[in-house]
Structure formats: C-alpha cells, structure tokens
C-alpha cells in the first residue's frame, strides 16, 4: 500500500525487514468494500503474523488508522509481538454516527460517493466499510478494558485529526500503553497530560503554508512525488464546498486537516508531514 512508501525505508535503515499488506477490499475498486469485514481483515493479519514468526525471532507490527486498531488488538492478545508503530490510530472516532453504520449497511450501500481521482486511495466510502471500522473500535476497546499494552509502542497523532478523537486516543496512550520507552508524537498544542513520553510538534508551519495536520499527513514526506509539497496530487476535497474548483485551479494554496477554514486562505487537505525529518529522527531513536 502507498501509505507506507515513505515510512518503510526508515524502518529498513534500522535493519527491519518490512512487509506491508493490503487488506481485503482495498487497492482494487471502492465497491469491493461492500463485502469486506473486520473478520476478513483480522484473518489476513493473523496469517501474515504467523508467517513472520516462522522467519524472524522479533516481530513488530504497524498500522495506519483502522490498521492501527487491528494490529493493536492482535498485539494485546499475543505477547510475543515485540512492539507497535501506530499512525493516526483510530481507537476512538470523532463522529458518534459511525456506531450506527452496521445498522445502516442493511439499508444503504454508500455513505459517501466522490469522484475517484486519487490513484493511491479511495475517496468514496461504503456503509459496510464504516461498520467494519467500528467493529475494530469495539473489539479493541473491549480488550483495553481488560488489558494494557506493556511493550514499546510509538503513536503518531494530530490534534486536528477529523477522523479520530485524538484527545481520547492520547488519554488511552497515557493510561494503557505502560512501557516507559513508549512515546507519543503529538502534532498540536501541548497536551494537558503529565507524561514525559509525549513529544509535541507545532502543527502550524507557515513557511510551508500548513495550518494544521490531517489524518493522513504524518505518513508522507514533503518530497513525495505524488502527495508531497510539490507533488502531482492536490487533495481539494477538504470540506470547503464551492471553493473546491478554486483550490484545483489556484497557483498556490494552504494545507490543513479536513474542515479547517481561515479567512483569506484557501486550504487543500494536507497530504504530507511538514515535520517529516523530525518524525524520522524520533522514530529512528525509538527503534534503536
């Protein structure tokens, strides 16, 4: 999956053999998520973990968003997993409506249908995919009530994330990720949590025209040829309504998380990490 194209080389530099998988329904066409389920995704991860254990004595798992939920669930049950790397872990959703998506999937197929202009990910969303995501939330939080994660974990999270209740995830990190070597990279204002393992990075980077950090932003380098600062793709579906066409045709725009607005500035969705080098340094230090 393209999500880890800039992260994988960092891990490889630290001596890791990196394998990234596409979960069922991904990488083909959006309609294939009409049938994918949490059970399918979990089975796929279990199979790959079993294969990794046959080849390597040390196994770490990583994931982005829903994938972070899935690998955390696996690792809570399997104490042989050595550690976790979690980008935008979606432990807690911002929307309360997602809990009704399983019921809605009996009546509607699509929650959102958008033009598919992005070669690296879907822009449309099926009700079944939303329901499957929420199933991972319920499974994981049931496990976290009973258990804490006691091995090293690095979580990378934006305060402005429109998908994830980032404050709730930060609280979960503080309370349930107990290893002293774990760390949280937080893009935003300082957290009201007394935890020396939290590292704060300013989400506003005016020299790169960045107003806030999006759900997907931390994954990608500004030099990425598709998502980077001068990349091929500009994500103009950013909750700004009639300004989409202005964004598409503008010579220069600002970047933000979904839904951010500021007078006098036209914002596209942020698709790169303005602190990528600092994030890389933190990750490399964590893995040593």
pLDDT value of residue 244: 85
Q: Return d(Cα 243, Cα 245) in angstroms, integer.
A: 6
The predicted model scores a pTM of 0.96
SS3 37: coil
**What's the rounded mean pLDDT across residues 12-22?**
95
* pLDDT tier at 149, thresholds 50, 70, 90: very high
| pLDDT tens digits along 72-92 | 999 999 999 999 999 999 999
Write the pLDDT tens digit of every residue in 236-285.
Answer: 998 877 678 899 999 999 999 999 999 989 999 999 999 999 999 999 99
Average pLDDT, the chain: 96
> Do 153 and 145 form a contact (C-beta atoms < 8 A)?
no
What distance in Å separates the CA atoms of residue 58 and residue 173, rounded to the nearest whole number? 23
Helix (H) and strand (E) counts for the chain? Answer: 8, 9
| pLDDT of the residue at 17 | 97
Tell me if 49 sits within 8 A of 84, measured CB to CB: no
- pLDDT above 70: residue 14: yes
C-alpha closest to that of 41 among 134, 107, 151: 134
What percent of the chain stands above pLDDT 90?
93
> Which DSSP string do the residues of 45-73 spell out, in sequence order?
HHHHHHHHHHH-S--EEEEETHHHHHHHH
Q: Which of 104, 128, 120, 70 is nearest to 226 (CA)?
A: 120
pLDDT given for residue 242 in this prediction: 67
- List the beta strands (DSSP E) in 99-148: 110-112, 125-126
177-191 tens-digit pLDDT: 999 999 999 999 999
Looking at 56-70, 104-118, 211-225, 231-245, which range is the least confident one? 231-245
β partners of residue 177 = 149
Transcribe 172-185 into DSSP letters. HHHHHB--TT-EEE
70 close to 136: Cβ distance less than 8 angstroms: yes
Selection from 267, 273, 261, 283 nearest residue 203 by Cα? 273
Mean pLDDT of 94-118: 93
Map out the domains of the chain with their CATH numbers. 2-202+275-287 (3.40.50.1820)
């Amino acid at each position: 999956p393209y999500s880890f194209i800039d992260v994988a080389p960092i891990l490889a530099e630290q001596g890791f053999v990196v394998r990234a998988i596409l979960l069922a329904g991904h990488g083909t066409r959006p309609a294939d998520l009409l049938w994918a389920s949490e059970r399918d995704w979990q089975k796929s991860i279990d199979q790959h973990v079993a294969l990794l254990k046959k080849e390597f004595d040390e196994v770490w798992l990583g994931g982005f968003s829903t994938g972070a939920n899935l690998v955390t669930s696996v690792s809570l049950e399997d104490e042989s997993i050595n550690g976790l790397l979690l980008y935008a872990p979606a432990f807690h959703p911002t929307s309360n409506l997602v809990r009704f998506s399983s019921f809605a999937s009996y009546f509607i197929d699509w929650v959102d249908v958008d033009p598919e202009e992005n070669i690296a990910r879907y822009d449309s969303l099926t009700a079944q995919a939303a329901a499957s995501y929420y199933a991972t939330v319920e499974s994981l939080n049931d496990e976290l009530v009973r258990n804490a994660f006691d091995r090293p974990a690095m979580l990378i999270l934006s305060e402005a994330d429109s998908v994830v209740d980032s404050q709730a995830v930060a609280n979960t990190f503080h309370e349930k990720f107990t290893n002293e070597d774990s760390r949280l990279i937080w893009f935003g204002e300082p957290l009201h949590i007394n935890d020396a393992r939290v590292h704060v990075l300013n989400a506003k980077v005016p020299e790169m025209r960045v107003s806030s950090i999006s759900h997907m932003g931390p994954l990608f380098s500004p030099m990425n040829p598709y998502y980077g600062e001068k990349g091929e793709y500009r994500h103009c579906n950013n909750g700004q309504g009639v300004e989409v066409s202005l964004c598409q045709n503008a010579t220069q725009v600002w970047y933000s998380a979904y839904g951010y607005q500021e007078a006098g500035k036209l914002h596209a969705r942020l698709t790169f990490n303005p602190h990528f080098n600092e994030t890389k340094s933190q990750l490399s230090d964590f893995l040593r």
